[in-house]
Amino acid sequence: MKIEKLSDEVIRETMNGELVREHRARALSPDHPVMRGTAQNPDVFFQSRERANLFYSQTPAIVEEEMKRFANLTGRSYQLFEYAGAPDAERLIVMMGSGCETAEETVDTLQAAGEKVGLLKVRLYRPFSVKHFMASLPKSVQAIAVLDRTKESGSIGEPLYLDVVAALSESVMDRSAPFATLPRIIGGRYGLSSKEFTPAMVKSVFDELTRPEPKNHFTVGIVDDVTFSSLSVDSSFNTEPEDQVRALFWGLGADGTVSANKNSIKIIGEGTPNFAQGYFVYDSKKSGAMTVSHLRFGSKPIHSPYLIQRANFIAVHNFTFLEKADVLERAMDGATLLLNSPYDAEGVWDHLPQAMQETIIAKGIKLYAINAYAVAKEKQLGNRINTIMQTCFFAISGVLPREEAIEKIKESIRKTYGKRGEPVVRQNFAAVDAALEHLHEIPIPAKATSTLALAPAVSPMAPDFVQHVTAEIIAGRGDQLPVSAFPVDGTYPVGTSKWEKRNIAQEVPVWEPDLCIECGKCVLVCPHSTIRAKVFEPAQLTGAPEGFKNIPAKWRELPDQLYTIQVAVEDCTGCQLCVEVCPAKDKKDPSRKSLNMHPQLPLRETERVNWDFFLQLPEIKKNGHLGFGSVKNVQLLQPLFEFSGACAGCGETPYIKLMTQLFGDRAVIANATGCSSIYGGNLPTTPYTINREGRGPAWSNSLFEDNAEFGLGMRMALDHQTAYARDLVARLRDIIGDDLANALLTGDQSSYEGINKQRDLVVELRTKLDDREEVEARDLLSIADTLVKKTVWIVGGDGWAYDIGYGGLDHVLASGQNVNILVLDTEVYSNTGGQASKATPLGAVAKFAAGGKTTAKKDLGMTAMRYGNVYIAQVAMGANDTHTVKAFIEAEAHPGPSLIIAYGQCIAHGIDMAKGMHQQKLAVESGYWPLYRYNPKLEDEKKNPFQLDSHDPKIPLQEYIYTEGRYRMLQRSDPETAQRLLQNAQQAVQHRWQHYKQLSQMSFS
Ligand SMILES: Cc1ncc(C[n+]2csc(CCOP(=O)(O)OP(=O)(O)O)c2C)c(N)n1
Ligand code: SF4
Ligand code: SF4
């Protein structure tokens, strides 16, 4: 990194003021009106299109001229096609974009070794100037590979390849080419979706060009064992210079590693003459993710836009990574390794896995360790270890002289924390000094002594696909998976998240049965479905592991049974939501609840066994014996959404989980892009799962913007199939028998019992049809399952529902079709880092609303209410969980469209996520988030369809909002505006409340 800014004067010079003014003069203005965008008929459209030809033909010369002018002004020279490499090159790569840097670095190395290779970089792709292209080609060229970073299925080749072939062919045909026959031209694909593109891959392309019959339409960077398009790559080839610091940092998502590294880049790139570069690789989990930072530093400019291949410094900021990943895979001989270790200097070596010890010895790696968590705790920095680890990096990597480095870190601390006052600065200075005191070099024994092995990514009990594909992606080896490993149509198995035991919680809840009142609130709020409850017969305790906890079940409908709560400690994120909502306290010691957090490590083995035992206990049946309208009962249902990648304490996932508990075995979900599609449907693992009968939610994601229509399509398809199936049942009475046909056609499926009965009838139907040859019988067999009622859920965030997908959502609401829309309202675009949406509240700070949002949140529910036939509920589980359960049940039962707007806390709110449910409560108590249900069916009974379900506001708005960073931020940065917006917001709350209140008091009798 060395960014030289152009001055405003130079930028102004690059522009022709006269042309800018001419452009302005062409603007639409009523002072000199014209029309644009007319509709055109076939008589004139064609000619109009051709009318613009001159602009295209003149563009290359104009761009060339401007590039020259730019070079004169700035000294930075560009050409339409730029050549790099041997003047007498025989083998040539043509490509464009950032990959050119890698190719050029490789060409330099190969050329220095005497190879006649070259690179032609395309700077102006369209209009493609054949003349300039041909003029840039070395005359000596014999073989050309054109690389495209795209795939056009079904085309002869990718776009740049086709252009190059056409350019050369035309030039040979019109004899303007410097050769009479075409050189060999091949095309290839690389780097799709930012897949790594390394010098070794470039070299393999040049190697291919030496073959008499080089592969055309090749791929590079993957192993294609299906159509065998890929080139083989010698990964030992690399061009990374010796005089560079290349450092890899393994950090835990949100532990500050990435920001500390960005700060190091700033310190070195801006504060010293050195060059710096950083790449940050994240996995798709939103909590407990592994992030690997790749940092390069050196005295020469860095032209390596690919990840570090050989590192001379490696830091591992979380010791648990050592059991999950081969952190030394890219270590060079003599590299330095820095570990954040919970063990003291004497104990570190013995806790390293055997393979790691062997690598350390074989590669002569220097090992340093520090217990950064202990230092952070001692210096009152909580879990923030980033400054401590950054100090250690500077102290031992040699990137800067030690004293200078420490001084610069302190300077940067002062800059960052200065505003927060001198004590905070001093606290961080103390952490820097303490880091140096607690950093130890660990002596390396001559032989490996450990017996620890890397833990397998998934259990050996996992199904084949999970063992061979999912596990590889989890282990970070997805790049090495061959093409044949993947499904042809993007269809993946469900229920795979249970195999990925992430063990990310430092502390997990432990159940104290003696205090438990069996309310199930903990189970309901758990975002990761890792705390569950069951009621079971005492006889089923046979074979229970020692210490498996249980108490008598307190259900009138389930007499003489036992109750248990079990935590999957390996899947728990340690968010504490369950502990916070637990209402059962020890009267003698109110700090002791029925759930309390305890360190995970000592519990891991025993609780793993307990969890396995718990899983095999029978699931509660939906057979009509027990109703599921209460939290206490709902919690007993199996969640068909578990162990997702959502953030610890996420407010969205408990709603999805609840939906799957109630309806998951017959649900089809259309999911908008957003957090819910990432924690819900991002590889490697899938949290949607199945029950013991093999049923569970079927899930798909189309786009961010079209999700409502996508779900509507699912509904229409299902309805058509059901109608056809019913028609066939009626027509095939002779085969099926009148009794069964009538039962199938008239079955009441409004209850779980009715649905189960219908399923049994379908089983009967299948046996009758199984050996029939008639076309209609075979048809009915193929869609018989649609005779059982299905429920369509359209799920997405507020960015989707309020903004980008609103047009479609409105269309679906107006369609009258039986779909259920669940809006997970975090009041920002959470997945992309918290941008404001129309759901963002007045006064809150969000991206694109840095000065506090000045307009009120859109009232989506009220807008939808105007249709009159839409069921609408606004819910907040943390404020009233029973209300939430009721709303889900009513929404699903409503025969038309239903809309549930669910308040979800999010890390973007700047709150202590453990208190997320409490925040929901405050939102409701302040009147900001009224709870209501609008049920059009009530009108048929002459009742008011609008029921306001929360009480009159009992706290002022500020008591809620100033517990959240998103509001406090403005209060700090601009108190006056904050005060004004608060007043406006408070007023808006009152107005809305009065409006709702009036609505709820209207008479419909
Ligand atoms: C048309 C389009 N624009 C932008 C994006 C990028 N994008 C993906 S998810 C997302 C934010 C989603 O926010 P929201 O709907 O509120 O859901 P949340 O992440 O909060 O659950 C955006 C902007 C996209 N995928 N498609
Ligand atoms: S701590 Fe969080 S993730 Fe763990 S069981 Fe409780 S609610 Fe679930
Ligand atoms: S909604 Fe917020 S808390 Fe939940 S996964 Fe997304 S970013 Fe994390």
Contact 562, 550 (CB under 8 A): yes
Cα separation values, 343 from 347, 371, 374, Å: 5, 7, 10
CA of 405 to the centre of ligand 1 (A): 40
Which residue's C-alpha comes closest to atom 6 of ligand 3?
675
DSSP H stretches of helix in 17-94: 17-25, 45-51, 53-74
- Compute the 3-state secondary structure of the chain and give helix, strand, coil in percent, each to the nearest 5: 45, 15, 40
Q: Which of 528, 825, 830, 905 to mutate to test the pocket of ligand 3 (most atoms within 8 A of CB)?
A: 830
Q: Which of 525, 577, 595, 614 to mutate to test the pocket of ligand 2 (most atoms within 8 A of CB)?
A: 577
Q: Which of 284, 528, 652 to mutate to test the pocket of ligand 3 (most atoms within 8 A of CB)?
A: 652
Residue range 801-850, pLDDT digits in tens? 999 999 999 999 999 999 999 999 999 999 999 999 999 999 999 999 99
CA of 831 to the centre of ligand 3 (A): 7
Residue range 659-706, pLDDT digits in tens? 999 999 999 999 999 999 999 999 999 999 999 999 999 999 999 999
Q: Which residues line ligand 3 (CB under 6 A)?
A: 286, 646-647, 650, 652, 675, 679, 826, 830-831, 906-908
Q: Identify whether 127 is preceded by a cis peptide bond (ω within 30 of 0).
A: yes
Please work out, in degrees rounded to the nearest 5, the angle formed at the alpha carbon of residue 411 by the alpha carbons of 408 and 417: 135
Q: What is the pLDDT of residue 324?
A: 85
What average pLDDT score do residues 41-60 get? 97
Matching residue, tokens 């909580």: 382
Q: Which of 824, 828, 906 to mutate to test the pocket of ligand 3 (most atoms within 8 A of CB)?
A: 906
**Does residue 677's CB lie within 6 angstroms of at least one atom of ligand 1?**
no
Ligand closest to CA 822: 1
Which residue's C-alpha comes closest to atom 4 of ligand 3?
650
CA of 187 to the centre of ligand 3 (A): 42
CA of 416 to the centre of ligand 2 (A): 34
Structure tokens belonging to residue 390: 């950054």
CA atoms of 979 and 924, how far apart (whole Å)? 21
Range with the poorest average pLDDT among 247-251, 376-380, 548-552 = 376-380
At 504, which amino acid appears?
I
CA atoms of 494 and 513, how far apart (whole Å)? 33
Which residue's C-alpha comes closest to atom 8 of ligand 3?
647
Residue range 151-183, pLDDT digits in tens? 999 999 999 999 999 999 999 999 999 999 999
The overall average pLDDT reported for the chain is 96
Q: What is the pLDDT of residue 804?
A: 98
CA atoms of 798 and 822, how far apart (whole Å)? 10
pTM of the model: 0.94
CA atoms of 852 and 611, how far apart (whole Å)? 46
What lies within 8 Å, CB to CB, of 439 at 6+ separation is 368, 369, 370, 392, 395, 396
Q: How much of the chain, in percent, has pLDDT values that exceed 70?
A: 100
Give me the sign of the Cα torsion angle 701, 705, 709, 713.
Answer: negative
Helix (H, G, I), strand (E, B) or coil at 390: helix
For residue 336, list its beta bridge partners. Answer: 313, 366
Intra-chain end-to-end CA distance of the chain, in Å: 73
Which residue's C-alpha comes closest to atom 8 of ligand 2?
526
CA atoms of 734 and 415, how far apart (whole Å)? 85
CA of 652 to the centre of ligand 3 (A): 7
Report DSSP letters for 508-555, one per residue: EEEE-GGG-----HHHHH-TTS-EEEEEE-GGGGTTPPTT---EE---
**Does residue 528's CB lie within 6 angstroms of at least one atom of ligand 2?**
yes
CA of 492 to the centre of ligand 2 (A): 27
CA of 804 to the centre of ligand 1 (A): 8
Closest CA to 541 of 530, 533, 556, 551: 551
Q: How confident is the model at residue 575 (pLDDT cuts 50, 70, 90)?
A: very high
Q: What is the pLDDT of residue 288?
A: 76
CA of 607 to the centre of ligand 1 (A): 38
Contact 645, 571 (CB under 8 A): no
Which residue's C-alpha comes closest to atom 5 of ligand 3?
646
CA of 826 to the centre of ligand 2 (A): 20
